[in-house]
Amino acid sequence: MHGYLDSIAVPLHLPSSVYSALPSAAPNKGKGKAKDQPATPTQLYDVVQSWTTQERDDMQRKVAMASLLGYSTVLLTLSIPATLDPSLLSFPTPLFPQLDPRTAPPGTEGLVMQLWRINVEQFGDDAVKGAGQKGWYGFANSTAPLFPPQTTLLSVSPTTLTAFSHVALSLSPPSPFSPTLVTLDPSLSPRLPFPLKRGLISSLSRAGVAFELVLRGVTRLDDPADQPGDAGRRRRNWIAGAREVVRATEGRGVVVSSGAVRAGEMRAPEDLINLCSLIGMPPSQAKDALTVNPQRAVMRGLSLRQTYRGVLSNPTLLTSSVDADVQASSDGPAPLARATSEGAASANRKRPVSEREEVSAAVAGGPAAVRAGEKESQRSKKRSR
């Protein structure tokens, strides 16, 4: 996976009942019958089948527009409340096979990889207290298997300081339900919904969780219900909130995406790099916000969804020369161990590291794992001597 990445919104027509939490079942101590409680909906919700013809055409237009603008991968974002059972969602993978390089015929142009992402929106105090209980889903050990297997990564949009602290301290460690992105739309209010405390930012950075800044509030057209001057207000809010995120994170681990609902709300990567100069990001960091950082988020999401706690192992190439083999055959097993360890150390020093291995190493433990490997090789040398 390489190139620029973007995130676009997927239309959902969820019933209003999923936006209200079901009351928890109370023990019936009396002799009377318990009151009937609304049952959790069990009908499978097909995302694509609920679209209108116009929505289907607009989704295909957005995917094709992403390829035209220069993006290689798009994240199809499903924004759901914490009161919706994610196992009820059904969506095809890929969404448009004729536009995906994994399924399109060889030689087809204008291809873009399509990955699915589930975002839990309006994650507030009630969602934190009711996680795993009846009527609440979100992020918990009991609800981790409910997310569809086609989901590449998870993200969350906290609305309060308590919810943000819960994400940073309890949800960020590697687990099957750990979110990879903290999605924010700074254009919604003059201030961010919670203060960015340094300790919480450090916890997220150590766990590999990035901040995603959604750009739709800047690029979307005015709705008929908007008042005059709302467009300028949204732009000012976005710049102020995005500058605060860049200041708190020092520009590291920030992802910028369009979050477009319509194809006209998407922007080219060069335009987004120029826009990032208004929020205090140099061009190198702005490019990382569209390439390296989202790639690491995707890799982390895949590792958490497909492995145990995101544990990855890098393959090690063991090489030995002819002289080492001859010496091993004459001296016994001890010199062979020394030659093998020295050959492995030299191979690791000389072998070029690809971008995919760098991302995997960052997910698995980063520089700490590399330093641990070097110390182990040094100890093996001393023991052999």
- pLDDT tens, position by position, 147-158: 999 999 999 999
- Binned at pLDDT 50, 70 and 90, residue 233 comes out as very high
What's the CA gap between 150 and 146, in Å, rounded? Answer: 11
Q: Cα–Cα distances in Å, from 345 out to 52, 370, 382?
A: 59, 12, 14
DSSP-assigned letters across all residues of 130-171: TTTSTT--SSSTTTGGGS-TTEEEEEEEE-SHHHHHHIIIII
What is the C-alpha to C-alpha distance for residues 245 and 296, in angstroms, rounded to an integer?
19
How confident is the model at residue 132, as a pLDDT?
74
pLDDT at 361: 46
Report, as an integer, the average pLDDT of 252-276.
93
Tokens describing residue 37: 């409680």
Assign domain 4-16+40-306 one CATH number from 3.40.50.11540, 3.20.20.140, 3.20.20.70, 3.40.50.740: 3.20.20.140
Per-residue pLDDT, averaged over 98-121, amounts to: 94
Cα–Cα distance for residue pair 143/131, rounded to 1 Å: 9
- Residue for token pair 């710049």: 239
Residue predicted with more confidence, 289 or 323: 289
Q: What is the pLDDT at residue 221?
A: 79
Helix axes 230-249, 198-207, angle to 10 degrees: 80
pLDDT at residue 323 in the model: 47
Which of 159, 162, 163, 183 lies closest to 242, judged by CA?
A: 183
Cβ atoms 160, 125 nearer than 8 A = yes
- Alpha carbon distance 134, 86 (integer Å): 14
| Percent of residues, the chain, with pLDDT higher than 90 | 57
pLDDT-based confidence at residue 351 (cuts at 50, 70, 90): very low
Q: Over range 48-71, report the average pLDDT.
A: 94
Average pLDDT value for the chain: 81
Band (238; pLDDT cuts 50, 70, 90): very high
pLDDT band with cut points at 50, 70 and 90 for residue 305 = confident
Look up residue 252 and give its amino acid.
R
Beta strands in 266-355 (DSSP E): none
* CB of 300 closer than 8 Å to CB of 311: no
Query: DSSP 3-state assignment of 384?
Result: helix
Residue 129's pLDDT band, with cuts at 50, 70 and 90, is confident
* pLDDT band at residue 318 using 50, 70 and 90 as cut-offs: low
pLDDT at 222 over 70: yes
